[in-house]
Chain A
């Protein structure tokens, strides 16, 4: 579907996004997003966001609010930020439309709730990314995270997932 060089470029972008999230590098992470962004954590694979409530359904403005809150120093559920490491794998390019790439992946994330319980939370699921090439650079305009346990009771999700 794409040549090796493009695949490696997509893969490198995904790893970079994961690193920014793991390290709560808020400005770097926010800067990856396009203006028509959607950052979405539904509760079911077949959810319709107009009918079914989502954990997170952020457009670009709301991503900005999320980052401002995290950077305020008073987002107590992330003071200090959760130590995290995630593995992103099973990367497949699903479709290519002009300079836009739809990419699927799986992830596993270890998150330490250091702010309160110090529980090690184990998160995992699938991700769909939509990337767009703008002036030669890849940019993110869609990230849908389908947690395996999205419809079960979960701990705080106030870090960057």
Chain B
């Protein structure tokens, strides 16, 4: 570990009611985050539906490291480091596709989609007793899959996948349970959006109900939903924010949807009669009562720490680039067995998500302006006290809960961040 990392005392920078501005700007902190959170912790990588057939592959990153999601002939989903085991060449430079082998163009070494070495030109030079098995592609040490959502850790030991996901796995279930087949399909491709801002502003913002009324006022005006009281707890929006533990947070609109008593408020208020095949398939799979409940409550709006955003009928993740740059990705949450829903979900995602949409450009601009404002070093602290006096444990689920404009979710993010970063920092210190 670097000496620099030892000098950061996260306990002094993160308090319940405020966090220090340097957390978004200090390059040493960024390096420590990459190592602790992105390279040693669990992160979201992709979904099994992106590689449906044998030979399918999709390029990703875990933190800064290039990886490939592949499906091999035995139907296993593999996570492989995208690096030729010879001289380090980026083995595969296509975004996605189907291949029987990956052949490095530098000297012609080839590998199966399962990572095993297939061959190299002029093998004799490797000497007697050389075993090709030694030079297979590196596998990501730990992979966890829930409802097709693939998570990974580059550390071979540490917190288990089950411990990492904790109770928040029910949020993934809620997404998948909107499909009559119980499976989501993330095959529509990803929009990629560059934010010149620190990565932490994304998970913080995504379950922040408070910014919507101001940041997104133009969207509310253009679509005629301004002054509806949505996102305003003083005007009676009963939506809540929740701390699921482990840095996972939720902004739950279901209470507002329930108050309206009308299904599909999360889908433009569509009437059930407009989606007859979907309703029939759902009722056949889950029964009438359960279906009514699911189409009323809708999909989750939640962060799975650190980089997955279950954004209702959209899925979003990101890669940090530097202290002041992050790339965010978006795709529609398509539901297997629900073509009626999916056709409109595509258009709904285009309206809401991505650099050309009606919502995300404002989030990008605000994040960038935050980053620019943080160049001013006074005041040193960012205020996070909203709702401290009224957040409470919800007896129904045992989760810390508060009103839609409070900052319970931000505090939940920072609390978990502090746990991870200070643990790593003290490990680094104890070695000296």
Contacts and interface: CB of A to CB of B under 8 A. Distances in A.
A122 interface: no
B369 interface: yes
Contacts of A152: 192
B217 interface: yes
A76 B366 contact: yes
Interface residues on B, range: 35 or more
A16 interface: no
Contacts of B372: 116-117
B361 A74 contact: no
B364 A77 contact: yes
Nearest to A49: B346
A55 B353 CA distance: 9
Interface string A62-82: 100110111011111110000
A50 B346 contact: yes
B18 interface: no
Quick one: which of B331, B358, B365 has the most chain A CB within 10 A? Answer: B365
Nearest to B331: A53
B322 interface: no
Interface stretch (A7-15, A27-35, A104-112, A153-161): A153-161
Interface in A36-63: 41, 43-44, 47, 49-57, 62
B194 A72 contact: no
Contacts of B218: 69-70, 72-76
B219 A69 contact: yes
Interface in B330-365: 330-332, 343, 346-347, 349-351, 354-356, 358, 361-362, 364-365
Interface in A114-129: 115-117, 119
B24 to A, nearest CB: 15
Interface string A84-117: 0000000000000000000000000000000111
A53 B192 contact: no
Nearest to A53: B188
A107 to B, nearest CB: 16
Contacts of B364: 77, 116, 155-156
B191 to A, nearest CB: 6
Given A50-B343, A116-B365, A153-B327, A62 B191 contact: no
A96 B216 CA distance: 43
B222 interface: yes
Contacts of B223: 65
Say what secondary structure dominates the interface of chain A: loop
B346 A53 contact: yes
Contact of A53 (B95, B191, B222, B327): B191
A74 B359 CA distance: 12
Given A76-B218, A117-B196, A154-B355, A54 B361 contact: no
B183 interface: no
B368 A117 contact: yes
B25 interface: no
A77 B215 CA distance: 10
A20 B58 CA distance: 40
Contacts of B347: 57
Contacts of B358: 65-66, 69
A74 B212 CA distance: 12
Contacts of A23: none
Nearest to B194: A153
Contact of A157 (B215, B219, B356, B368): B356
16 contacts: A49-B346, A53-B191, A53-B331, A54-B350, A65-B223, A68-B222, A72-B218, A73-B218, A74-B217, A77-B364, A151-B95, A153-B194, A154-B192, A154-B194, A157-B354, A157-B361
Interface of B: 95, 187-194, 196, 215, 217-219, 221-223, 327, 330-332, 343, 346-347, 349-351, 354-356, 358, 361-362, 364-366, 368-369, 372
Closest 4 CB pairs of A and B: A77-B361, A69-B222, A116-B368, A157-B356
